[in-house]
Amino acid sequence: MAGVTTTGVRRVEPLSVVEQVTKEIRRSILAADLRPGQEFSLREIAGQLGVSIIPVREALRRLEGQGLVITARGKSATVAPLSHDDLRAIYRLRRKMEPELVGQSCLLLTDRDHARLAARLDTFGDSNLGLEEIYEAHYEFHLELLRPAATEWDLRVLDMLWHAAERYIRLAFGGRDSDPDEPHRREEAHTRLLAAVAERDPDHAAQAVLHHLDVNEQIAQQGIAAVAD
């Protein structure tokens, strides 16, 4: 009917300035353009991005919550250093959450869910993909694996832990890209994990996730050691 408006639908807005600044600084840290331990000026970053210092300060507050930066009271911040202890703490918390969630989720995932997860496996073995695409596929795979049993609070905490672990994972797996067998290893690791979950045995699924986390942490710890050397 002419003249009738739909009040329940709001106009879609583009990313806020704070979200754009957060995304770009985060990208710079993950790409090592801003190096671990490097101190930088908020004003300098604001000038490079063409924004005021206010959204930069808010963006850094968010990134500090992800364990990526350390902010000071002044007008500077530091990229959080790589730390064996921090990585162990991240994985200790992941081990407390993910095995329990996957034990519940394996009973809730449908055949359609499994088909969708299985379709993602080829991505891990594609040697033509860059680390950005591989990590995105990894994030989505684990999210879909746990989502049926996860509450909103579970997802918030997992998102924080996964983001905190991301630069360690990128560092570790980026250093293995020269190994021609690495794509196959990634695909096989996730194929075995999905097969264990498909058995709908909570204990077996939980053990499979624990093993997956153990292997990934070991590779990430080796990545830190390689950088230190």
Express each pLDDT in 146-177 by its tens digit: 999 999 999 999 998 998 888 888 777 666 66
Predicted confidence at residue 180, as pLDDT, reads: 76
pLDDT score for 97: 97
Identify the band that residue 91 occupies on the pLDDT scale cut at 50, 70 and 90.
Answer: very high
| DSSP, residue by residue, 158-193 | HHHHHHHHHHHHHHHHHTTTT-TTHHHHHHHHHHHH
Residues 72 and 106 in one domain: no
Give the amino acid at 117. L
| Sign of the torsion formed by the C-alpha atoms of 145, 159, 30 and 37 | negative
CA 48 to chain centre: 26
| Banded pLDDT at 10 (limits 50, 70, 90) | very low
| CATH code, domain with 52 | 1.10.10.10
Task: Flag whether 7 is in a domain.
Answer: no
Say whether both 36 and 148 belong to one domain.
Answer: no
Average pLDDT over residues 33-59: 91
**Where residue 196 falls among pLDDT bands split at 50, 70, 90?**
very high
198, part of any domain: yes
